[in-house]
Amino acid sequence: MHDTLIAYINNALGKTLSEKDEHLLESVFKPKKLRKHQYMLQEGEVCRFAGFIVRGACKQYTVDKSGKENIIGLFIEHWWVGDRESFMTGTPSPYNIEAVEDVEVLLAGREDFLNTLSRQPFINEMMNVLTEKHSFHLIKRVHAAHTLTAEERYHDLHKKYPEFFQRFPQHIIASYLGMTKETLSRIRAGSGKK
Amino acid sequence: MHDTLIAYINNALGKTLSEKDEHLLESVFKPKKLRKHQYMLQEGEVCRFAGFIVRGACKQYTVDKSGKENIIGLFIEHWWVGDRESFMTGTPSPYNIEAVEDVEVLLAGREDFLNTLSRQPFINEMMNVLTEKHSFHLIKRVHAAHTLTAEERYHDLHKKYPEFFQRFPQHIIASYLGMTKETLSRIRAGSGKK
DNA sequence: CGCGGGTTTGATGATGCTCAAGCCCGGTGG
DNA sequence: CCACCGGGCTTGAGCATCATCAAACCCGCG
């Protein structure tokens, strides 16, 4: 299982990790399996892990007073998962993270991460690059939410992450895009016949 | 002028910079004045600076085909300004950044920044913390755009950055919040009399 | 005084939401 | 093997929120 993570990091850094570094990763990241519908993180808890998905798919969401799920993030294999803010600051997370398929993850606990991993320059560097990329991505989502129509947002996602449409049921994608499942359904029906 | 920046960094890092570090900052950050309506960055250019605002206020926006401005960011003194993605990757920016009041900024050029500043651990550390905070903030904006009504978004902003309402005309704030100036005006009228 | 930027107010309309019903399809149990 | 069930998807009708367009207003400034 750790091979996937090591390959990922080698690729991200554009170099090959030493045996020592590999062993460090193996000692810190514990494998865990989750079945579909199992929670990785529940609203109100502090997020005590940084997770790397080896297999499967997850959703991150809030639930409003009327019980409606609001998907804020979707994650598949080779993505990092967790609530970074809660993890770093130790404050309770407002989000739920749940497996949408059976999942295998590698989890690094808070203490291991802060005491061991974040002392490693190579990990730190990678995390910083990822955080930066993530923030670029988020700015675009804010801008998209303000300027694009439901249909345009759908097309953008379809172009950027076509695999999502194989992996997640439509009502989940709709919520991630900030629209209802009915609206997404109508968009798909319409855009086929034009 | 550099005092402001040095004080800001001392405060961010929770320590006092050495004379040497201070001199480094003074040599790298060049002061510049902009008058109201002047551009700091124009759509299509590569962003060649990282800027720290000493005095004044700026807006960051795109313009759609019909000519409407879409405000994506607002900045006042003691904030960093620029298009980080364009700056880091060297790709043309889709954004305009413009002074909304007369502005004094400290600018670090791309070369200085990448060759000199980013070699300094203290700067790097600070930047990473800032990027991280920024991404926390952006996630909330995405979530807000998807889940909150225009009125709720207004109240949130009013609570979080009351000073914006003194500094920016209403139509700019409206666009930043993803609504029209008319809608914002009506919200303000209504929320007073309830 | 008159001009111009910013704000307000009103009337109308589009986009996308809600609620409700029906459909499709794969899985389970009789 | 078929009937039934349930989750997800679709379709339709009515409606709310917010955008658009147009006009008037306010006020500081030349």
pLDDT score of A136 more than 60: yes
φ/ψ of residue B141, rounded to 5: -70, -40
* Per-residue confidence (pLDDT) for residue B115, from 0 to 100: 87
A2 touches strand D (CB under 7 A): no
* Per-residue confidence (pLDDT) for residue B193, from 0 to 100: 41
B166 touches strand C (CB under 7 A): no
Query: Quick check: A175 and A69 in contact, CB under 8 A?
Result: yes
pLDDT score of A8 more than 70: yes
Q: How many CB pairs under 8 A join A and B?
A: 66
What value does the mean pLDDT take over residues A5-18?
Answer: 90
* Per-residue confidence (pLDDT) for residue B192, from 0 to 100: 45
More confident position, A117 or A130: A130
Q: A92-130: buried (b, 16+ CB within 10 Å) or exposed (e) per residue? A: ebebbbbbbbebbbbbbebebbeebbeebebbeeebbee
CB-based burial of residue A173 (10 Å sphere; 0-12 exposed, 13-18 middle, 19+ buried)? buried
Residue-wise pLDDT tens digits, B63-96: 998 889 999 999 999 999 999 999 999 999 999 9
* Per-residue confidence (pLDDT) for residue B117, from 0 to 100: 85
pLDDT score of A193 more than 50: no
- Reference A96, options A118, A125, A128, A73; nearest CA is A73
Top-level class of domain A2-119: mainly beta
Domain spans in chain A, listed from the N-terminal domain onward: 2-119
**SS3 assignment, position A185:** helix
CB-based burial of residue A66 (10 Å sphere; 0-12 exposed, 13-18 middle, 19+ buried)? exposed
More confident position, B172 or A36: B172
Residue-wise pLDDT tens digits, A69-111: 999 999 999 999 999 999 999 999 999 999 999 999 999 999 8
* C1'-nearest nucleotide to the CA of B179: D18
pLDDT score of A63 more than 90: yes
- Bridge partners for A163 per DSSP: none
* Per-residue confidence (pLDDT) for residue B191, from 0 to 100: 62
- Reference B135, options A91, A12, A140; nearest CA is A140
Would you call A141 an interface residue with chain B, using a CB distance cutoff of 8 Å?
A: yes
Residue of A nearest to B61 (CA): A143
Residue-wise pLDDT tens digits, A152-168: 999 999 999 999 999 99
- Reference B147, options A180, A57, A98; nearest CA is A180
Interface test with chain B among A139, A156, A175, by most B beta carbons within 10 Å: A139
Query: Quick check: A4 and A54 in contact, CB under 8 A?
Result: yes
Q: B139, A178: Cβ pair inside 8 Å? A: no
Backbone dihedral region for residue A4 (phi beyond 0: left; psi -120 to 50: alpha; all else: beta)? alpha
Q: What does the alpha-carbon distance between residue B3 and residue B9 come to, in Å, rounded to a whole number?
A: 10
Q: What does the alpha-carbon distance between residue A35 and residue A103 come to, in Å, rounded to a whole number?
A: 6
Query: Quick check: A172 and A61 in contact, CB under 8 A?
Result: no
List the Cα angle B133/A160/B136 in 5-degree steps: 10
Mean pLDDT rounded to a whole number for chain B = 93
* Per-residue confidence (pLDDT) for residue A118, from 0 to 100: 82
- Bridge partners for B107 per DSSP: B30, B51
